[in-house]
Structure 1
């Protein structure tokens, strides 16, 4: 509900006994909102502690401020975005003010239009923008009571919003029994029992019988000052029971005791009044018209049922409200099963099948006494609608209920599998395991067995069983082959990608051989080319796989968006496999844009990580850092953190020894614990690059020797040039030649300048005389035609070092000077120092450049992200959409950025921040 309040001012506490401290916290939040800042507070405590009274105090304190209110309802926990709809419905006229993607996503989840299934994090961003817009002009108070009964979709979105409020003049208050996972970490206000004196005062206000002081003391002590217990229990207990001390047992039993007290009062009401209370308890919205019409169907006219009153337990006005949620639960649980079914049937009959089809279906399910295919089918349609609106948890609940009402075994298995698939998307692995166990107890056809196997594979992978997951997926893919060949091949591709992460030779070979045994499609598409090329890469080597991989690389640049979302994370590796850096950047950038446009934020970090690799290869360290920062921001927001492989790559190139070494140690530890060998490869590649830059070659060979033999087709290959360089410097010629042979095998099938330049530079390390000179020249020429600036600079460095050893100091200086300047401009500090030392050895005077702290170094990481995006021309709403911030918070950060950089306009950011030289034409 949307209200304007003119009530008691701060500090008055609206007559709440003993709640001065709690009211002061709320007063501080309201004062902050009036000053232009946001505050979030999770008010929590046991039933009856007074949470709702404090929320009402906050509402009464918000003079001249806008108030939005929602209440979680236990029976609506399965309806997606039900609580969010309550909270935001007064703002629907403001939807047109939002950017089109955000407006569309809210209209979709609120059922105002049909649309593709939205990402819940995009929904969160849209709600953040909507609330921010509503707080323009006057502060906004958002109150969510009984938050423990929010539907999961609403809880996730509001938890997301709460963590991103900063400069929007919004107070967001949650009242809950205990903070759930979606609210953990937010500022909390625990509401405990009243102090002894206040508890006695409250008890005295409601007990008119003369009680001995020791009995009063015992009641206060055993209630632990719970206000609702002190107010309600005396009404439900006889004087004799109270005097005998029998009313209370222990604090843990209080909710049940209070509920029993309510139940005693309910049982004293007339039969028709009790039935009216049951109708109200089963109707989740509190719509008086629905309650009235359902009552009439059951022969309970409203006027008759209310004639004798409800003893204060129920109020019917603009909404139907209970004295306390425990009244609702007492009414519902005390009713007979027959009465509950009759009430739900009546409610289903009066619920609009067009306006509220899902609520109607849920009532019909609750009214069913046994299997009912018509109701099961209606629940299945509700699940489809929930999926379309992004309510995956609700879809799982609808499907599980649908399955229990399904008599046909195969159809029931289909619905249980669909429920498990929805549960997997929400991360409820225990639910998925339970459903799979139940499905396995029945007979399944081949397609159903395949679906179940895919689910088991994903559960195993999510639980850390990488190799087991691959085996399960390969078996499932085989079962799916005849029923759904495309799904079968997608499953094989997923298994192959997982096997690469595990980096186990036997596992990867088993998947690849299974793929090679598949029948060849008559018209292979991008998926087929990718899968066949990767399988050939493992079973027959790069030369055999090269033609297929090259074809795949060309068609993957513009695969449809749905394919990008389903298996694009594996496809990113094909351009790397064929040594095509141009396609690598193009594919990665395009996939980031596709995923971003689709609002698939859970998948976005994977693609941003790939893009950061491509930018690091090109020497665009600023761009790589921005991609990593955005990936981290999204991954944190979505609760889906990724391994820090891109950060390892960037830090090692920058030569930041302390940070790189710490991250290497953490990555190795994580890889050992998880069993994912790619983590070991990534850490050792970073170590090899770092220590080659520092000139500590023995440490390189120690790091790279084992990692270069890991069965993983990318990082283990990129390690080989590092190993050859270090082995030649460490006087280990056999090790160098062995690594070179394996590198040549990987580069020879491809004619790109990337492959040829790296190969020539590495060959030159083990060659001598004219042969080495020609190879270094070839490396400089070929890498100079690419945007691989760090690799070109390293070619100049190695050539210069070789020339110096050959006493060709003049030529050596030219290459070493070029290398030094490039390293400095790129930001490769360790390699720059190595080049400087070599220049000194040629007799050239080179002063070590002092690291000059620019004003941009004063910016926090988030401020740097915002500044870079604004520099590149993005508007505040566009920056907010990237970083999950409201436009007002972006503007707040910009003011701080301008102050730190001593500038006054967005245009000046182009001069205040360094540009990216790698975007210019290479030369």
Structure 2
């Protein structure tokens, strides 16, 4: 929701006027709260309580919501009066009430004399000295005066009162507001309170409505980070999300603290960012009044990760009793539950740790290390946190920790341990070696920004040529993963050129990294340069999967048969680790062995998912999503693409994220959701130079052509598809691989706009370039194009040839489109029986995929053949395809619950809930949770 403002802020009050200001920026993740606030402030006369209290911890955005509500009220003609409590004015009687009523004081002349004198006297505006603040008759007159002023103002137009930071508002003002609230029922006066904590001021009793302002869910928190001027990526982003725990203020402040710093200094074994001054003032204020013993206890708990907490409690308790914990609990800093100490917010823990001196922190870490002698991994981390100087013993212990984590698949943990080991290494060679090992682990974790930073440290640690060469390779990989294509090639191609003859293994690795860049750019100059370099490298050098990938990526239409035979040889070998499977799967995909690609990439993903510490891999995820999409596993492709997009945003894998957006946009278009598809593909290509991202731009034009066709704009559809090939006597593909798969759609669009000859020239040029070297998939597309463009005598033969190849069943949607067009052709020649067969087969596929536009076209053709087609309700069929758990989650989400709230009910994580919803949306034919209630219909009530 977007609120609009028509007022000007004067001190603590909002004085409304006639002009309307531009809309405010959308508030991320607060749709439900904004909706309730809007209903509350725009209902002039209500039957229920006229007071609504926003309750929540510091930084959750209560003030932002109150501002939005005030602006909404002002935009609809309400008079808005405001006050904000302040710690320094808690003892000043009527300070907040004076703030709120100042705009109405010129109207005080109309009050009864006693009320006017009492009110003005309380505000220090009377000639006679005011009575004492605890004089009850005088207080009653003041409260009555406030009530009268507000009632008179409400008689002219509705009034909204907004009292923020009510926990710091002086007692006299709170009494007056509570007095007014109890007496304006039925009048157009409403009161909004913003209160820190989970309890409203006791003066209001229980006769008021509550609106808890909880932490943001994961998706909203990520949107907040993405909206920052320097959106954090990689490990920094993950740390901010974990440390902020959904607190909007913390998200913004921590992102600001880490902005522009390649590796911000972290504190504590958990790798927390130090707090900004603003966050310290909010979260550390309650530490000041605690005893030294309680603060020491809290420091031990803050220095410990969750597994270390028993040791922290033991170390702390050795120097004191339970009273210290009671004091911390009473201050609202921790909860003590069943012998466990839990900080009420991660930022409280950070404030405790950050406010201690290094000497105090060192003492805590050493005490914990002594108690964790049976856990060498945790002991090593605490010893590392307790030292500033290089120490080879501690560094070696961290290397051993990294080895154990790597064997468990914990790539991020292992990389972090090696990075810290490098920092503590006295010897430069050892430091460089450990940084390079960390690069490999960070790459497996899918974090290019981290890889780039680690590789950058190698040059400062050593002048060893082999190590520097390896660092260059890692830098090139990292640059490529973050769209800096030219910069990546400037590192990789010279390295391959220098080493092709004397160190061909290194040259092959460099070309393997460069291959995906050459594919993304589609630049023939780069591709031809790489092919010349590959000719200098023997085929038996290096890893066989790198050989296959590099050669297939650079020339997918070359000796395809030999490459497929090479692929089979690679698969016959025993090694099946995730990295090898990923590379071989990518090679199978580019060679149009789609079934094998899905199997290999899926097996690689299963290996990663089987180890909970390995995390997701956006590069693998987008590749699997693309293969699943082409293989007709659309629901799996949707879920995989969405997960890849999220992980890519977290880790700075820009190209992987954009590729995942392409898959999502294509699915949206194929299911008839034109607007959403256009928005998604526009996001995918935003900021990408077409000359440096031809593969993405070719696919984007194809999606936009689908959208244009859905909207009936066939001239634009043809223009977009024709743009995938150059203009001239010998049309060439804009991209040497991706352009060819639009040939069938280009021919169909050409027929619709009368451009048969132009499309035929493109098709003929493609035939000449690829004669005898086409995959079964490309043959399906070219034969479809030829059949659509052919005269009557040849069309049937070409359609039959396209459909007669059993290999084409790997691509069910593309084959079903040919069946649809063949059925149309047969029906127009009154071969109705044959037409029904082809159309029925196509309809089955389109229904299974929920490709609604094609489903509707096919149904119309069948009806024209005299076949009665069941009027399908796509949503109903979608509900039938939901698992019981998906249906339960969808029903709860339809009621307005957040992912976090649903997870609390079902004992699942918020991310798991999000994953299930993303699987649910395409089954129901929708794109977001706002559409769930309509899609579920009568089944939507939990």
**Which one of 767, 779, 789 corresponds to residue 744 of structure 1?**
767
Distance in 1 (CA, whole Å) between partners of 2:876 and 2:640 is 22
1:366 and 1:660, CA in 2 relative to 1: closer, same or farther beyond 3 A? closer
Report the counterpart of residue 516 of structure 1 in structure 2. 535
**Which one of 763, 774, 777 corresponds to residue 797 of structure 2?**
774
Higher relative contact order (CA closer than 8 Å, sequence separation 6+): 1
Distance in 1 (CA, whole Å) between partners of 2:775 and 2:742 is 19
Alignment of 1:629 onto 2:639: yes
User: Alignment partner of 1:810: what SS?
Assistant: coil
1:551 and 1:351, CA in 2 relative to 1: closer, same or farther beyond 3 A? same
User: Alignment partner of 2:532: what SS?
Assistant: helix
Report the counterpart of residue 559 of structure 2 in structure 1. 545
Distance in 2 (CA, whole Å) between partners of 1:663 and 1:413 is 42
Structure 1 contact 467–499 (Cα < 8 Å) conserved: no
Mapping of residues 560-709 of structure 1, within 5 Å: 563=577, 565-566=578-579, 568-580=581-593, 582-584=595-597, 586-587=599-600, 589-597=602-610, 602-603=615-616, 610=623, 613=626, 616-617=629-630, 620=632, 623-633=633-643, 635-636=645-646, 641=657, 643-669=660-686, 671-672=688-689, 676-689=693-706, 697-708=714-725
**Which one of 378, 383, 387 corresponds to residue 363 of structure 1?**
383
1:367 and 1:760, CA in 2 relative to 1: closer, same or farther beyond 3 A? closer
1:856 and 1:507, CA in 2 relative to 1: closer, same or farther beyond 3 A? same
1:566 and 1:490, CA in 2 relative to 1: closer, same or farther beyond 3 A? farther
Report the counterpart of residue 182 of structure 2 in structure 1. none
**Cα RMSD, aligned residues only:** 6.2
Distance in 2 (CA, whole Å) between partners of 1:617 and 1:252 is 49
> TM-score under structure 1 normalisation?
0.54
Distance in 2 (CA, whole Å) between partners of 1:639 and 1:508 is 29
Shift of 1:761: 2.9
Cα distance per residue 1:471-530 (max 9 Å; x no partner): 334455667879986676455323212332333333344344333332331697343233
**Which one of 421, 434, 445 corresponds to residue 402 of structure 1?**
421
Distance in 2 (CA, whole Å) between partners of 1:274 and 1:785 is 70
Distance in 1 (CA, whole Å) between partners of 2:409 and 2:661 is 29
**Which one of 447, 455, 469 corresponds to residue 450 of structure 1?**
469
Q: Could you list the runs of 5+ residues in structure 2 that have no partner in the other structure? A: 1-32, 34-54, 62-85, 88-215, 223-237, 251-276, 330-335, 651-656, 726-731, 891-902, 924-931
Distance in 2 (CA, whole Å) between partners of 1:566 and 1:771 is 47
Cα distance per residue 1:679-708 (max 9 Å; x no partner): 212122234456568875432331112224
Mapping of residues 52-91 of structure 1, within 5 Å: none
Structure 2 contact 783–799 (Cα < 8 Å) conserved: yes
Distance in 2 (CA, whole Å) between partners of 1:879 and 1:765 is 55
Q: Could you list the runs of 5+ residues in structure 1 that have no partner in the other structure? A: 1-24, 26-39, 51-157, 165-177, 191-249, 294-301, 870-875, 905-923
Distance in 2 (CA, whole Å) between partners of 1:670 and 1:505 is 22
Mapping of residues 244-263 of structure 1, within 5 Å: none
Report the counterpart of residue 246 of structure 1 in structure 2. none
Report the counterpart of residue 226 of structure 1 in structure 2. none
1:671 and 1:508, CA in 2 relative to 1: closer, same or farther beyond 3 A? same
**Bigger Cα displacement from structure 2, 494-503 vs 830-839:** 830-839
Structure 2 contact 303–365 (Cα < 8 Å) conserved: no
**Which one of 503, 515, 522 corresponds to residue 496 of structure 1?**
515
Distance in 2 (CA, whole Å) between partners of 1:758 and 1:279 is 66
Alignment of 1:810 onto 2:840: no
User: Alignment partner of 1:707: what SS?
Assistant: coil
Distance in 1 (CA, whole Å) between partners of 2:281 and 2:882 is 49
Distance in 2 (CA, whole Å) between partners of 1:483 and 1:474 is 15
User: Alignment partner of 2:809: what SS?
Assistant: coil
Cα distance per residue 1:346-386 (max 9 Å; x no partner): 75994554434542564377457x54433432333234345
**Which one of 497, 502, 505 corresponds to residue 524 of structure 2?**
505
Structure 1 contact 602–635 (Cα < 8 Å) conserved: no
Structure 1 contact 386–394 (Cα < 8 Å) conserved: yes
Cα distance per residue 1:657-683 (max 9 Å; x no partner): 444444444444364599533221212
Distance in 2 (CA, whole Å) between partners of 1:276 and 1:765 is 78
Cα distance per residue 1:215-252 (max 9 Å; x no partner): xxxxxxxxxxxxxxxxxxxxxxxxxxxxxxxxxxx999
Report the counterpart of residue 298 of structure 1 in structure 2. none
1:415 and 1:856, CA in 2 relative to 1: closer, same or farther beyond 3 A? same
Cα distance per residue 1:72-127 (max 9 Å; x no partner): xxxxxxxxxxxxxxxxxxxxxxxxxxxxxxxxxxxxxxxxxxxxxxxxxxxxxxxx
> TM-score under structure 2 normalisation?
0.53
Distance in 2 (CA, whole Å) between partners of 1:651 and 1:288 is 52
1:648 and 1:277, CA in 2 relative to 1: closer, same or farther beyond 3 A? closer
Count of equivalent residues = 637
